[in-house]
Amino acid sequence: MTEQTWADAVNRDAIIDIASQLIAIPSPSGDERAVMEFVQRWCDDRGIRYQVVAKDPNRPNVIGSIEPSTDGPTVVMNGHLDTVPVSDPAAWQTSPFDPVVSDDGARLYGRGASDMKSSVAVMLHLMDIFKDSALRGRLQVHVVSDEEVGGQFGAVYLVNEIVAGSLPRPDYCLIGEKSDLKVRNAERGIVGFHVTILGRASHTATARATGINAIAKAAKAVLALDRDLDKFHPAVGKPVISINTIQAGVAHNVVPGECMFTIDRRLIPGETVASALAEITGALDHIAATDPDFRYDIVTDPMRDAIPASITPEDSPLVQALQQSIRDITETEPAFFVAWAGATDGRYYRQAGIDTAGYGPGGENAHGANEAVFIDDLVTQGRVWAATIARLLQAS
């Protein structure tokens, strides 16, 4: 069979059916047990082998596995089944746990439709398609908990088990988060900084004589720092800097002697914590050069470890297979997802040295009311993934 034949086995109604069943089981982060039991039953009914891997039995992960031969690479499909809670039920036009297909057949509505139960439905459907095939290697699905709140019980736990040798090490990992049918072979990193502007407290009456207003000085710094950054990486677009909290002042009649603000800085491949820090201190030193009263301290966020940017190179067999499958199946040139929407569990696999790429559907209102996924995109995702898997595992 050719890659095209495997793609043609993808069935729209089967995907909608599985996605609807997943959406109908509420699974906010912390309460994933019932939806994971559904996945186990689904595998049982189809004779697909699986194991439950859990750091906390109430927050299990399910690893489904097809391994006709271990003489070849291991391909993992990763998706999470936890969702954010429904915070605004009155704003929904449908019931969030009663999945509905729009009259024109274009959208599937429900909590988790876009982020990301429908994409997991695609993965389960692909397990069904490949379950009796001859593969040179192993196809697995990592259905995980806990993505929305950090992954410590989900992908982080699985990757730690992989690194420890308790689970098979994947050669390639496909991520199904929303990407508008564009390739995500990299993710931005994150680093936080705390900046303290040092002024001099005084009575308001003597503000001009003895005071140095730390809020006024911080205003200069914020305006200098919070701006568009003139850099671009083809895989993830621009880096980002944003001043997101600020604290100062003790009383209405006291000139503030200190002002602290926090910087959230998103890194692109090639940038480091040190390079971002140098850029920020450069801008602050530039202010100080013309203002002798401008003084500051800066430290990296003591509460959060920095996360480096991660990238799987474009010449990886995984990215190559994905790109070629996009060309074959969609007859369009593959594009990178630079309209970046946030981090995924993919970074944990990439940080463990596993080639990882994302390719998922488009949708709307993820985390909000009237969340929906575009059904045509799910079918395209399924077809492109089927061709990619067939290519990497020489399916026959």
User: Where do contacts with Zn ion occur on this chain (CB under 5 A)?
Assistant: 115-116, 177
- d(CA 207, CA 201) in angstroms, rounded, equals 8
Instruction: Give the residue with the Cβ less far from Zn ion, 7 or 116.
Output: 116
Instruction: Give the residue with the Cβ less far from Zn ion, 79 or 239.
Output: 79
Q: Can you say whether residue 394 is alpha, beta or left, with left for phi > 0 and alpha for psi between -120 and 50 degrees?
A: left
Q: How many CB atoms lie within 10 A of CB 5?
A: 13
Instruction: Give the residue with the Cβ less far from Zn ion, 154 or 237.
Output: 154
> Whole-number minimum distance, CB 319 to Zn ion, in Å?
21
DSSP 168-217: PPPSEEEE-S--TT-BB-EE-EEEEEEEEEE-B-EEGGGTTTT-B-HHHH
User: How far from the centroid of its chain's Cα atoms is residue 11's Cα?
Assistant: 26
Q: Which residue is nearest to Zn ion (CB)?
A: 115
Among candidate residues 242, 19, 9, 250, the one with its CA nearest the CA of residue 130: 9
> Whole-number minimum distance, CB 351 to Zn ion, in Å?
18
- d(CA 69, CA 156) in angstroms, rounded, equals 27
Under 8 Å between Cβ of 392 and 318:
yes
> Whole-number minimum distance, CB 179 to Zn ion, in Å?
11
Instruction: Give the residue with the Cβ less far from Zn ion, 29 or 140.
Output: 29
Bridge partners, 28 (sequence order): 83
> Whole-number minimum distance, CB 307 to Zn ion, in Å?
17
Q: Can you say whether residue 110 is alpha, beta or left, with left for phi > 0 and alpha for psi between -120 and 50 degrees?
A: left
> Whole-number minimum distance, CB 177 to Zn ion, in Å?
5
Instruction: Give the residue with the Cβ less far from Zn ion, 129 or 186.
Output: 186
Among candidate residues 80, 44, 244, the one with its CA nearest the CA of residue 152: 80
- d(CA 144, CA 141) in angstroms, rounded, equals 9
> Whole-number minimum distance, CB 366 to Zn ion, in Å?
7
Instruction: Give the residue with the Cβ less far from Zn ion, 149 or 198.
Output: 149
> Whole-number minimum distance, CB 116 to Zn ion, in Å?
4
Instruction: Give the residue with the Cβ less far from Zn ion, 147 or 258.
Output: 147
